[in-house]
């Protein structure tokens, strides 16, 4: 019976050793998992920052292009408006000369 008892004690010790080893393995795995989680979070944050910066730069470039396009279109519209105003002034001036001549003819009864 001593042999069986000794064997049971050894078995219990062995089970205890295995449990202790398993506990250490689990603790090490948890530490490694935490380290990996932190690295992944840091990498994700870095990527988010890079994406945000790229989006900001692209937005600025788009705004610059839009501003330049708007400036060019505004200049084109202004030139066109100035050209039309000049043309209208010239036509009005010509019509004024005709109107004055006609009034003179009517009032004086003569053709100039």
The per-residue pLDDT for range 33-92, each reduced to its tens digit, is 999 999 999 999 999 999 999 999 999 999 999 988 898 999 999 999 999 999 988 888
Which residues 6+ apart lie within 8 Å of 104 measured at CB? 110, 112
Which residues 6+ apart lie within 8 Å of 110 measured at CB? 104
What pLDDT score does 111 carry? 63
Tell me the C-alpha to C-alpha distance, in Å, between residue 18 and each of 11, 12, 15, 21, 72. Answer: 10, 10, 5, 5, 80
Tell me the C-alpha to C-alpha distance, in Å, between residue 74 and each of 19, 28, 29, 59, 66. Answer: 80, 68, 66, 22, 12
What pLDDT score does 5 carry? 60
Q: Which of 2-6, 11-15, 21-25, 80-84 has the highest mean pLDDT?
A: 21-25
What pLDDT score does 26 carry? 97
Q: Are 111 and 105 in contact (CB under 8 A)?
A: yes
Mean pLDDT of 6-28: 91
Lowest mean pLDDT among 17-21, 51-55, 94-98: 94-98
Q: Are 112 and 105 in contact (CB under 8 A)?
A: yes
φ, ψ at 34 (rounded to 5°)? -65, -40
- HSE-CB at 38 with a 13 A cutoff on CA atoms is 6
What pLDDT score does 1 carry? 46
């Amino acid at each position: 019976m001593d042999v069986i008892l000794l064997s049971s004690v050894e078995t219990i010790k062995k089970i205890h050793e295995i449990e202790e080893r398993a506990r250490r393995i689990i603790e090490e795995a948890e530490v490694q998992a935490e380290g990996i989680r932190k690295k992944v979070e840091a990498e994700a944050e870095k990527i988010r920052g890079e994406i945000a910066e790229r989006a900001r730069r692209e937005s600025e470039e788009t705004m610059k292009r839009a501003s330049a396009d708007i400036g060019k279109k505004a200049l084109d519209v202004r030139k066109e408006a100035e050209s039309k105003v000049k043309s209208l002034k010239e036509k009005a001036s010509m019509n004024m000369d005709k109107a004055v001549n006609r009034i003179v003819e009517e009032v004086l009864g003569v053709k100039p």
